[in-house]
Amino acid sequence: MPEHEERCPRCGTPTEPFQEYCLECGNRLRTPGVVPTLADGWRRRVRWYPGDWIWPSLLALVVAAVAASGAILWTREAESAASETLVGDTSPLPTTVETIPETSSAPAPTVPTATTGTTGTTTTTARRRSLIEWPRGRSGWTLVLASLPASSGRDAATARARDALEAGLPQVGVLDSERFTSLHPGYYVVFSGVYGSLSEAQEAASEAADAGFGNSYGRRITPSR
């Protein structure tokens, strides 16, 4: 076996470079885009890969470091300017003290506090306990939990979706990839959540991993016109 032979992380079947789907189990091997390209480069050098969340985190660290450096430089310039002002200003301080007349210290009027008849109870919205359909005509992002070949039948995908629902994941449903231009045809896709951006979908990946869906990933969903 070649030293750097790539294999499907789900079933172990050998795969070709840049292969998008596993021909044995249908697992999505890579997603086009900047983050998947970086992830592939990481995996080629280090076998352990923490997850796509690492890239937004690294970007946030870089932005924070740049902001901190700018703040330090600005503070030093401000202190330097203040020091120059103090040294250059040699005028004497005024010695006249203004006398302020005494005023009566009457207590401030008490403002009545209005009370309402409602109590401050916290309402917790229960998560939906049934499978959902993708919003009709809406494009967005979701967290793909599993992709099953259409030959296995929709019932198998539905059973997998109910497992995710029982594990507490939100907005779980099944997509027929034939109805979405952004998905590879011939699969039933188990998804969780309807999000406005990839970062929002990726933030839910850790919760999905805790629920037993460690291979979940963010994916854009575009309905067929």
pLDDT tens for the chain, residues 1 to 225:
455 578 888 888 888 777 778 887 878 876 666 666 676 676 766 666 677 777 688 888 889 988 888 888 888 877 766 555 444 445 454 444 444 444 444 444 444 444 444 444 333 334 557 999 999 999 999 999 999 999 999 999 999 999 999 999 999 999 999 999 999 999 999 999 999 999 998 898 889 999 899 889 999 999 987
CATH topology of domain 140-221: Alpha-Beta Plaits (3.30.70)
Record the tokens describing residue 167, joined without a space.
């594990």
